[in-house]
Amino acid sequence: MEYEKQYALHSRRRFLKFLGTTGISLSALQATSLGAGLLLGRQAQAQGAETRRVIFVYIPDGTPGGASQSFLPSDDLTLQRCSTPFESVKDQCIFFRDTEIVGGGGHGLTQRVLGAFAPGVKGTLDLALEGVVGATSPVASLRLGIRSRGVDPISARGYAGVTDFQDNPRSAFDRLFGGTVDTSPIGERREKKLLEINRLALQSIQSRLGQYERERLEQHQEGIAKLNADIENAANGAAPPGCLNPTFNPDGLSEVMTDDAFTEQFALQTENVVLAMSCNITRVATMQMGTHQADFSVNNIDGDYHGSIHSGNAAWYEEYRTYFSQRVSHLIQRLAETDAPEGGKLIDSTLVVQITDMGNGDAHTGTDAPYMMAGGGSAVRRGRVVTAGNHHQLLDTAAEYMGVYGVIPAYSDSPAEGILS
């Protein structure tokens, strides 16, 4: 049996063994993905395991002139125009110098950015992580689009694109948290029943885990102070903030599915990712902004992205590329603001990996590409500019961060140096 399959089976068996010790029925667990996420978080705490997460963010068509011309900061982190939105979070970031896209850049090769064409692999890194890291997650991996429209997805098994990206933020929320509220008389009773099932399932999990984890604490004295507080919270019915009764779009952002609501759609998808990770529903997420052809527009910028790239007007192209940096910065900030279920903030346990399919989009080059990472906590040497080599090495670095380098097939000869502590 292949090593990655053995790894995944071991993870499932370990989880089921843990489940057996709690006395919680599978039917109660299956009643709510939130309950499953809570239980997985408590399993990790009981075993003293470190939880790590990863989010891949795709921005099509590189940056004007290549990273060194418009995106890459100086060694002292003085930012260029297209990277200025990272000013408030730059100490969380690693910017990469001289990154080459293996196989070159160009349209129609979106699957290349997550390694689908690397020799000896079966598909993109997000799906490889789904098979091992996601083995016991309620959602093995989450794929969200922002005006991607199901065209040329960056995720692929072999050479076949995986088209289950959710472009509609509300549909994605429904998938994660069980659907919208039906306000008809029958629907209202159904929703109340589902809420009661969720409540009882969570109560069952919380009450049973208290005794089990106290027994574990007797064997692991060093964690007593922190875990006792966690257990008391669980016994009192507490769960990660927002996880007992998650709400879609509490700020009332526009849900219109058009290009001129791109900002709102990205913000809503960001909240879906943040909520899913803070509730332990998934540890792997992929966010695809637009299409490889760049045939879309965004809020308050004239014309479409593709037109700006080949217009000969560098300022127009830069305006678009700066806008996308604003979106990624927003994601990083939300991770920095949100509590992680195991303590600290999500940014301390989540690696954001910014990817693209070109260096200079106007020339369709594959060199000097604006790849970037952010977050990851003390395991990552942040606030630096590093020479990266090629993008396959960065994929292996992400796999190493997630603890599965050597478990899944490698995308290169070795991870990039100077990134992980």
Rounded mean pLDDT for each run of 10 residues along the chain, 421 residues in total: 61 57 51 48 54 96 98 98 98 98 92 94 93 82 94 90 93 78 44 54 55 43 38 44 80 95 98 93 95 95 96 97 98 96 93 97 97 97 95 97 91 95 90
d(CA 159, CA 149): 19
pLDDT at 217 (0 to 100): 39
On whether the CB atoms of residues 270 and 234 are closer than 8 A, the answer is no
Does a structural domain hold residue 71?
Answer: yes
Segments forming the whole domain that contains residue 118:
52-181+248-401
**Domain count of the fold of the chain:** 1
Q: What CATH number does residue 151 fall under? A: 3.40.720
Does a structural domain hold residue 265?
Answer: yes
C-alpha distance from residue 160 to each of 101, 155, 165, 277, 306 (Å): 20, 9, 14, 27, 25
Identity of residue 239: A
φ, ψ of residue 94 to 5 degrees: the values are -120, 120
C-alpha distance from residue 207 to each of 42, 215, 341, 405 (Å): 12, 14, 18, 37
Does a structural domain hold residue 233?
Answer: no
Does a structural domain hold residue 294?
Answer: yes
On whether the CB atoms of residues 273 and 287 are closer than 8 A, the answer is yes
d(CA 298, CA 323): 9
Helix (H, G, I), strand (E, B) or coil at 183: coil
Among left, alpha and beta (phi > 0; psi -120 to 50; other), residue 290 is: left
C-alpha distance from residue 168 to each of 13, 91, 301 (Å): 35, 32, 22
pLDDT at 375 (0 to 100): 98
Does a structural domain hold residue 415?
Answer: no
Does a structural domain hold residue 56?
Answer: yes
pLDDT at 378 (0 to 100): 95
DSSP per position, 348-417:
GTEEEEEE-S-SBTTTT--SS---EEEE-GGGB--SEEEE--BHHHHHHHHHHHTT-BTTBPPSSSSPPS
CA 242 and chain centroid, separation: 18
- Orientation angle between helical segments 169-177 and 262-278, nearest 10 degrees: 10
- 99 burial type by CB count under 10 A (0-12 exposed, 13-18 middle, 19+ buried): buried
On whether the CB atoms of residues 115 and 398 are closer than 8 A, the answer is no
- pTM of the full predicted structure? 0.81
φ, ψ of residue 295 to 5 degrees: the values are -90, 55
Does a structural domain hold residue 234?
Answer: no
Does a structural domain hold residue 413?
Answer: no
